[in-house]
Amino acid sequence: MSILSRKRILLGVTGSIAAFKAADLASKLTQSGTEVDVILTNAGEKFVTPLTFQSVTGRRAFTDKDLWGDEAHVLHVDLGKKADLLVIAPCTANTIAKMAHGISDSLLTVTALASTCPIVIAPAMDGGMFDHPATRENLKTLQTRGALVAGPAAGHLASGLSGVGRMIEPMDILGHVRVALGKNGKLAGKKVIVTAGGTQEAIDPVRVITNHSSGKQGYALAQAALDEGAEVTLITTPTGLNPPIGARVVRVKSAQDMLDALMNESADALVMAAAAADFRPKDTAKDKLKKRDGIPQIQLEAAPDILKTVASPGGVAKRFRIMVGFAAESRDLLQNASEKLKSKGLDFIAANDISADDAGFAVETNRITLLFADGARENLPLMSKAEAAEKIIAHIARLLE
Ligand code: CTP
């Protein structure tokens, strides 16, 4: 179950043209299983209507008319107290200033004052307004009080100018919301390193030897660790995927790069989800191999076994308290996985049968068996890679307890 499901999130929408993107955010949150209560300011209502939000959340959207309605004396307290998180997106310089000074002259600002939950602010304004010392100081004040400021981004602004002031994209706001919700999770204060993607072993400056790994399972693991409050480093090959918000990203290409990157790290847990090469070209041609020179004979040599190297006594043993591997197999799944579990000195291994159409590389789902060093086994049924990641991260949290 995702960190967003069964949560109650208050979405504040203030007067910026980016308000139209807030409907997308409300929709994404709702689709993730969140109950979304929207509060529009008067200026927010000039850009989008309450009906827009009611249509995507299936719930009533509140406006300043509700500030003086029948339930007004408790509405703001009720909304503020019940929420797991308040996200204000877009948040104007005006609302930021009011919140920094405890001004509560709208349903949104009075609710913000009454709430005790984490707050995420996605500023949206003109570059000059964002740069103004007043806005800077107000944002700093809110940050000091624990608010998470997400953005703004650089780009085209409503004024026609370019600069820093654009609200960040809803998908990225969602990432910040997850970080704020996960803060006190089971892995709070713990460091997790995840490797992801298929490595690229260069033949020449143009060509590489790689594999079908998409990186999806690794990225899902990084997100699941963030959802539990871990400090996450994602060591990834080029995958074309967007890294989860909050992860420190180290970009690598070859198995050797990945090993070198790990030699600089230490963590509570290492999850080797990457499909690292076993073989690489013995020599990488400095210049592009030309057709006119005939079909090249490419001699291969062993690539470093990353897990074995970091687990060996001469390596960086115990830099990683828990080590988790993956075994992608097309036959003798459990036997091969069990051998890898032992030979690589792992705490547990996730074995997946890549011959199935609905599991393994590139697809959205996985069917995994977890094999533990103490002999225990757990068969996970077919599930999304996100769900499989949550299960694996839950075991890591248990082993680190
Ligand atoms: N792995 C590694 N270094 C490599 C290759 C793989 O650390 N050069 C890691 C993978 O990230 C995975 C685990 O070892 O977590 C098992 O990888 P897999 O490719 O299934 O096994 P190999 O040890 O490479 O053995 P084989 O390819 O012969 O099955």
Out of 184, 211, 242, 264, pick the active-site residue: 211
Residue 2 predicted with pLDDT over 90: no
Q: DSSP letter string over 212-244? A: S--SHHHHHHHHHHHHTT-EEEEEE---SPPPP
Sign of CA dihedral 334, 335, 336, 339: positive
Q: Are strands 231-236 and 191-196 parallel, antiparallel or unpaired?
A: parallel
DSSP, res 69 = S
Q: What pLDDT does 172 receive?
A: 97
**Number of CB atoms found within 10 A of residue 240's CB:** 7
- Read off the pLDDT band of 312 (50, 70, 90): low
Q: What pLDDT does 160 receive?
A: 82
Q: Among the atoms of ligand 1, which is closest to the Cα of residue 278?
A: 8
pTM metric for this prediction: 0.93
Which residue's structure tokens are 């984490």? 118
Q: What pLDDT does 73 receive?
A: 65
Q: What pLDDT does 366 receive?
A: 84
219 CA distance to ligand 1 middle (Å): 18
- Read off the pLDDT band of 71 (50, 70, 90): low
69 CA distance to ligand 1 middle (Å): 63
Q: Which residues, 6 or more positions from 60, have their beta carbon under 8 angstroms from its beta carbon?
A: 37, 50, 54
Q: What pLDDT does 210 receive?
A: 97
Mean pLDDT lowest among 65-79, 132-146, 296-310 = 65-79
**Mean pLDDT, residues 377-389:** 94
Q: Are strands 248-251 and 320-329 parallel, antiparallel or unpaired?
A: unpaired
289 CA distance to ligand 1 middle (Å): 29
**Mean pLDDT, residues 371-395:** 95
- Are the C-beta atoms of residues 101 and 132 closer than 8 Å to each other? no
Residue 307 predicted with pLDDT over 90: yes
225 CA distance to ligand 1 middle (Å): 22
DSSP, res 60 = P
Atom 8 (ligand 1) nearest CA = 305
Q: What pLDDT does 219 receive?
A: 98
Q: What pLDDT does 360 receive?
A: 66
Assess whether 211 carries a catalytic annotation. Answer: yes
- Return the best residue to mutate from 237, 344, 369 for the ligand 1 pocket (most ligand atoms within 8 A of CB): 344
- What's the rounded Cα separation, in Å, for the pair 112 and 28? 22
Residue 81 predicted with pLDDT over 60: yes
State whether the beta carbon of 176 lies less than 6 angstroms from ligand 1.
Answer: no
Residue 238 predicted with pLDDT over 70: yes
Q: Provide the mean pLDDT of the chain.
A: 93
- What's the rounded Cα separation, in Å, for the pair 399 and 145? 34
Q: What pLDDT does 42 receive?
A: 97
Go through the domains of the chain in sequence order and give each one's CATH number. Answer: 8-182 (3.40.50.1950), 191-399 (3.40.50.10300)
